[in-house]
Amino acid sequence: MTQKSSVARTPLQLATRQGIAVGVATAAYGVSFGALAVAAGLDVWQACVLSLVMFTGGSQFALVGIVASGGAAAGATAIASAVLLGVRNAAYGMRMKPVVRPTGWWRNAAAAWLTIDESTAVALAQHEPAARRRGFWVTGLVVYIGWNVTTLIGALIGDLLGDTRAYGLDAAAAAAFLGLIWPRLRTHQTIAVACAAAVVAAALTPVVAPGVPVLAAAVVAAIVGTTNWLGRRTGAAT
């Protein structure tokens, strides 16, 4: 009896563990960004400022990727792509505000700053309000601190790392997301939403600008999700 109670974890503890795990996995990929930013022509401090101020990995990679391929002349396109990809955070903010319920201007500012893919995913993976808030804050803080530290490391040793994809760091964040999403794919409808979004993103990635596949996948997921084509069948079965 004592052994069982010592192993069991509360929802808050589980949210904390998930937040730390996802945060560490995501932060590890910051090494890639630091190295790629320096390779694209940015200096160490410019790479670090991007992580400190912009703090949205997809937009940061889109920015340095376009700059690397087009140089300074591609600056306007790079900024436009980064903004386009960052639009999703506004949608996350609308969804997360009633979940986080920040009070005071500084908490509102901090919540807005930390509203990213990872903090949203971990928060919404929880079932209790307090656990959702814990998951949001833990994930956001771990990612922010870790991402900035690893960006600095990657920028400093970028030339020594070579191709950072060889280390599998680009798969770490994706694997963490899959671990969060997988237990929630229990109905035909949620599986249909996930599959439709994945197919659209994979099909568009080689042919459109960075950031567009994510937005297109989000639109498809919203359409398939709101229509609830398979919801009745699942509900009838249960």
Q: What is the residue extent of each domain of the chain?
A: 11-178, 185-238
Q: What is the pLDDT of residues 178-191, one digit of tens each?
A: 665 676 677 777 78
Q: What is the pLDDT of residues 121-152, one digit of tens each?
A: 899 888 888 999 999 999 999 999 999 999 99
Mean pLDDT check: name the lowest of 60-74, 167-181, 221-235.
167-181
Query: DSSP states of the chain as a string?
Result: -HHHHHH---HHHHHHHHHHHHHHHHHHTHHHHHHHHHHTT--HHHHHHIIIII--HHHHHHHHHHHHHHGGGGHHHHHHHHHHHHTHHHHHHHHHHHHH---SHHHHHHHHHT-SHHHHHHHHT-SSHHHHHHHHHHHHHHHHHHHHHHHHHHHHHHHHH--GGGGTHHHHHHHHHHHHHGGG--SHHHHHHHHHHHHHHHHHTTTS-TTHHHHHHHHHHHHHHHHTTTHHHHHHH-
Does pTM top 0.95 for this prediction?
no
Most confident of 25-39, 118-132, 189-203: 118-132
